[in-house]
């Protein structure tokens, strides 16, 4: 990519926007709040699960569950054409604050945490961290939720010096309880955490009844490499797919199919929650759409039979130092375009039919496509596509963008791939199968 060309400026500005969106979204709650803001700005109407739905007004709608999962949809002109569903996840691996987190040790004040999801421990050390999430408050009349982001360098998890463990570079088994508790201050700061949180939330400390707060890495996203062709940021898995899916939805043209963006929480812990892909959120929303539109149970089944889902979650790029971990042939590279994932045991949902749909979109729209297979001797990961399929069964393909250092608090991907995914999502919403 030649620098300074119109195309390179477009690619750079799409990637820059992604990095800004991720920086503003340290937790799944912030992801949903920021998507909500963009949807409202684009004329989408907010629905609540606890209220009746009226879908007469033209345009798009959205609904949230638990403030951490969100489904947006734009009804199509021909209901029997079905749904085009782009599904991704709002959460990323992190360390979550336990109850009564302040822990005094040797004159230091540390915070008691436990792990959320399959995080890589080592990169959480020796970098500025902070806290974000939500608090639930009681103002005397009702409970309400407030987002919190302590927007400054607040915490650190210091490494043990090599002088005390000469074998540190030969591998180390981390104890979350012993090694991963961040330093918050000294003994004199005891009691400060709750006042810092309540001040940030704009409420009195005694109003806060409970909280869901997570550590997050403070590093900002950056471009790097000889041609600045790579980018790094916290939470690329899976916010890269989230924000590209949203951009695709907002720039696609209304068509016959109902376009749906599903952003599920809790993929990193198996999806088995009320708001996760294994819960009933998506099935419930489809039922509400069909019911509010006055369609019969049979018409609903016809719509679902004609539907296609894309399960979009980032994929592993081949690591230059560990090519032995990759399939000998089907090994994606950063900036190589959309990654179509296959797994014979159906951890990835892609099959011949759904692969053909993805290939056709990429061929018709000149979007580069590459393939991921696990090395045949490795189990590999899984994602939300096959889990969602147990609740609502549609033709589904698993895709993603190639990245390195998955589940590190600072991951790397290809800057050009952002544009590829936005273009793919846009084209997918219009596809007729
Ligand atoms: Co993921």
Distance CA 337, CA 324 (A): 22
Q: How far is the CA of 166 from the centre of ligand 1 (A)?
A: 35
Superfamily of domain 6-92+234-430: Zn peptidases (3.40.630.10)
Q: How far is the CA of 106 from the centre of ligand 1 (A)?
A: 38
Nearest to 114 by CA among 99, 92, 129, 103: 99
Q: How far is the CA of 105 from the centre of ligand 1 (A)?
A: 35
Q: How far is the CA of 275 from the centre of ligand 1 (A)?
A: 16
Distance CA 234, CA 19 (A): 9
Q: How far is the CA of 294 from the centre of ligand 1 (A)?
A: 36
Q: What is the pLDDT of residues 31-81, one digit of tens each?
A: 999 999 999 999 999 999 999 999 999 999 999 999 999 999 999 999 999
Residue 156 confidence (pLDDT)? 98
Residue 293 confidence (pLDDT)? 93
Nearest to 192 by CA among 263, 109, 96: 109
Q: How far is the CA of 30 from the centre of ligand 1 (A)?
A: 17
Q: What is the pLDDT of residues 350-391, one digit of tens each?
A: 999 999 999 999 999 999 999 999 999 998 888 888 898 889
CA separation, residue 85 to residues 63, 285, 286, 303, 312 (Å): 15, 12, 11, 12, 10
Residue 83 confidence (pLDDT)? 97
Q: How far is the CA of 250 from the centre of ligand 1 (A)?
A: 22
The DSSP letter of residue 351 is: -
pTM above 0.75, yes or no: yes
| Sequence ranges of the domains in the chain | 6-92+234-430, 94-216
Q: How far is the CA of 305 from the centre of ligand 1 (A)?
A: 27
CA separation, residue 284 to residues 50, 91, 202, 289 (Å): 12, 21, 34, 9
Q: How far is the CA of 326 from the centre of ligand 1 (A)?
A: 18
CATH of the domain spanning 94-216, picked from 2.30.250.10, 2.30.30.280, 2.160.10.10, 1.10.3720.10: 2.30.250.10
Phi then psi dihedrals of residue 231, to 5 deg: -135, 155
Q: How far is the CA of 304 from the centre of ligand 1 (A)?
A: 25
3-state secondary structure of 384: coil
3-state secondary structure of 293: coil
Q: How far is the CA of 251 from the centre of ligand 1 (A)?
A: 24
Q: How far is the CA of 339 from the centre of ligand 1 (A)?
A: 13
Place of tokens 């096959």: 386
Give me the tens of pLDDT residue by residue for the chain, a chain 433 residues long. Answer: 566 788 889 999 999 999 999 999 999 999 999 999 999 999 999 999 999 999 999 999 999 999 999 999 999 999 999 999 999 999 999 999 999 999 999 999 999 999 999 999 999 999 999 999 999 999 889 999 999 999 999 999 999 999 999 999 999 999 999 999 999 999 999 999 999 999 999 999 999 999 999 999 999 999 999 999 999 999 999 999 999 999 999 999 989 999 999 999 999 999 999 999 999 999 999 999 999 999 999 999 999 999 999 999 999 999 999 999 999 999 999 999 999 999 998 989 999 999 999 999 999 999 999 999 999 999 888 888 889 888 989 999 999 999 999 999 999 999 999 999 999 999 999 776 5
């Amino acid at each position: 990519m030649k620098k300074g060309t119109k195309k390179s400026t477009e690619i750079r500005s799409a990637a820059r926007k992604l990095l800004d969106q991720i920086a503003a979204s340290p937790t799944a709650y912030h992801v949903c709040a920021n998507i909500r803001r963009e949807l409202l700005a684009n004329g989408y109407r907010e629905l609540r699960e606890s209220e009746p739905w009226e879908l007469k007004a033209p345009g798009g709608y959205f609904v949230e569950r638990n403030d951490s999962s969100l489904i947006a949809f734009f009804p199509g002109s021909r209901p029997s054409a079905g749904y085009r569903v782009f599904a991704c996840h709002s959460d990323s691996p992190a360390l979550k604050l336990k109850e009564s987190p302040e822990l005094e040790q040797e004159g230091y004040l540390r915070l008691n945490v436990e792990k959320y999801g399959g995080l890589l421990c080592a990169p959480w050390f020796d970098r500025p961290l902070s806290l974000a999430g939500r608090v639930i408050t009681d103002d005397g009349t009702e409970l309400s939720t407030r987002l919190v982001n302590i927007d400054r360098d607040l915490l650190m998890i210091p490494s043990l010096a090599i002088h005390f463990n000469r074998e540190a570079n030969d591998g180390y088994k981390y104890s979350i309880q012993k090694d991963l508790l961040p330093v918050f201050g000294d003994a004199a700061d005891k009691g400060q955490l709750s006042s810092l949180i309540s001040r940030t939330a704009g409420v009195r400390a005694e109003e806060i009844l409970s909280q869901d707060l997570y550590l997050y890495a403070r590093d900002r996203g950056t471009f790097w490499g000889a041609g600045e062709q790579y980018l790094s940021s916290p939470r690329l898995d899976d916010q890269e797919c989230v924000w590209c899916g949203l951009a695709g939805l907002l720039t696609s043209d209304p068509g016959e199919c109902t376009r749906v963006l599903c952003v599920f929480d809790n993929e990193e812990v198996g999806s088995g929650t009320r708001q996760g892909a294994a819960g009933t959120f998506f099935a419930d929303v489809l039922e509400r759409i069909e019911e509010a539109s006055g369609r019969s149970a049979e018409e609903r089944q016809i719509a679902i039979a004609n539907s296609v889902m894309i399960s979009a979650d980032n994929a592993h790029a081949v690591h230059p130092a560990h090519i032995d971990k990759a399939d000998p042939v089907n090994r994606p590279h950063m900036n190589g375009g959309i990654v179509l994932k296959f797994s014979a045991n159906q951890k990835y949902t892609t099959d011949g039919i759904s692969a053909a749909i993805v290939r056709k979109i990429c061929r018709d729209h000149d979007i580069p496509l590459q393939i991921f297979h696990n090395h045949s001797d490795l189990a590999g990961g899984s994602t939300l596509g096959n889990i969602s399929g147990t609740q609502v069964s549609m033709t589904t393909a698993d895709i993603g963008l190639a990245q390195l250092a998955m589940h590190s608090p600072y991951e790397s991907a290809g800057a050009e791939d952002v544009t590829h995914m936005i273009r793919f999502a846009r084209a997918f919403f219009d596809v007729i199968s």
